[in-house]
């Protein structure tokens, strides 16, 4: 029996650094596989967190959008209620929505001016005094016009002095008022301007007579109670800012006190004291 030399030769060798197919993985391979698994696990957690955070952000956006829409609708309802309330009061109290628009606008303008004066440190007592005087004027005008006192007075005066000249009462009343107030106002205007010369007196007479005629025509017009009340409120709303402005122009604004509010006095004083303290404890450099 002969030996086969080929059967005694060793098989092909395994490359260095590589394990045989049946051998367990080496330490480096296990560490690399563990590291790769850790990275995949971390990436999976990060991706999951991103997904959940995206869903949370979308939910927050949805809640903010719906909440903002709800708040916007509530503000719109408040504005609608305020404007509608003013228009309703104008129609209910004074017989016209137009009065509500006019008086509501003036009220808002007055409140804005009052807040501006308050921001300039005008005392509330001065603003309240101007309001009280304006309210008294408005009430007086409203009562006089609402009771139709002026028209009835001109009517009675026209009936007594001009009934023989003007037969129609509807014409006699306004003519009496226009002519009467034009004459009275013209005389007052002439007397007021006579100190400045004849031209000034003549100009005062003409201007005052025109103004008196306009006032006479307005006061001779019959006015209902609702319109008289509305005119009284209108006069009060116009007089309030005018009186407050005149008070500010007369008494002025304490600019020094207003500027003091924006000056950090305590900080400045403390800084000065600190500087003086440091100077007192710092040795003087000897002069050479």
Per-residue model confidence as pLDDT tens digits over 55-87: 888 889 889 999 999 999 999 999 999 889 988
Radius of gyration (C-alpha) of the chain in whole angstroms? 47
Contacts of 206 (CB under 8 A, 6+ apart): 186, 189
Per-residue model confidence as pLDDT tens digits over 182-197: 999 999 988 888 888 8
pLDDT for the residue 284: 56
Q: Mapped to the 3 state alphabet, what secondary structure does the chain carry?
A: CCCCCHHHCCCCCCCCCCCCCCCCCCHHHHHHHHHHHHHHHHHHHHHHHHHHHHHHHHHHHHHHHHHHHHHHHHHHHHHHHHHHHHHHHHHHHHCCHHHHHHHHHHHHHHHHHHHHHHHCCCCHHHHHHHHHHHHHHHHHHHHHHHCCHHHHHHHHHHHHHCCCCCCCHHHHHHHHHHHHHHHHHHHHHHHHHHHHCHHHHHHHHHHHHHHHHHHHHHHCCCCCHHHHHHHHHHHHHHHHHHHHHHHHHHHCCCHHHHHHCCCCHHHHHHHHHHHHHHHHHCCCCCCC
Per-residue model confidence as pLDDT tens digits over 223-232: 888 888 999 9
- Report for 73-87, 119-133, 159-173: range of highest mean pLDDT: 73-87
Going by pLDDT thresholds of 50, 70 and 90, the confidence category of residue 25 is low
pLDDT for the residue 48: 80
Q: Is the pTM of this model over 0.85?
A: no
Please compute the mean of the pLDDT values over residues 211-240 and round it to a whole number: 89
Least confident of 95-99, 118-122, 144-148: 118-122
Per-residue model confidence as pLDDT tens digits over 247-262: 888 877 766 766 776 7
| Angle value at C-alpha 265, between 264 and 268, nearest 5 degrees | 90
pLDDT for the residue 2: 45
Going by pLDDT thresholds of 50, 70 and 90, the confidence category of residue 150 is confident
Q: Percent of the chain at pLDDT above 70?
A: 86
């Amino acid at each position: 029996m002969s030996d086969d030399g080929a059967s005694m030769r060793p098989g092909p060798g395994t490359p260095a650094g590589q394990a045989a197919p049946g051998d367990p993985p080496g330490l480096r391979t296990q560490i690399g596989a563990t590291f790769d698994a850790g990275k995949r696990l971390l990436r999976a957690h990060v991706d999951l967190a991103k997904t959940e955070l995206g869903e949370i952000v979308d939910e927050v956006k949805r809640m903010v959008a719906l909440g903002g829409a709800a708040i916007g609708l509530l503000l719109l309802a408040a504005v609608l209620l305020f404007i509608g309330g003013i228009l309703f009061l104008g129609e209910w109290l004074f017989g016209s929505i137009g009065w509500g628009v006019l008086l509501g606008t003036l009220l808002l303008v007055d409140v804005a001016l009052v807040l501006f004066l308050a921001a300039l440190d005008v005392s509330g007592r001065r603003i309240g005094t101007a309001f009280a005087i304006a309210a008294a004027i408005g009430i007086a005008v409203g009562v006089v016009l609402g009771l139709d006192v002026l028209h009835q007075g001109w009517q009675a005066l026209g009936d007594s002095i001009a009934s023989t000249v003007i037969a129609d009462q509807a014409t006699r009343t306004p003519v009496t008022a226009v002519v009467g107030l034009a004459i009275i106002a013209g005389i007052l205007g002439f007397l007021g301007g006579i100190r400045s010369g004849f031209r000034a007196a003549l100009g005062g007479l003409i201007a005052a007579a025109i103004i008196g005629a306009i006032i006479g025509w307005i006061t001779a017009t019959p006015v209902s109670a609702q319109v008289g009340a509305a005119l009284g409120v209108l006069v009060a709303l116009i007089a309030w800012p005018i009186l407050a402005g005149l008070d500010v122009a007369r008494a002025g604004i304490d600019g020094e006190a207003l500027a003091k509010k924006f000056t950090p006095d305590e900080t400045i004083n403390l800084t000065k004291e600190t500087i003086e303290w440091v100077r007192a404890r710092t040795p003087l450099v000897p002069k050479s």
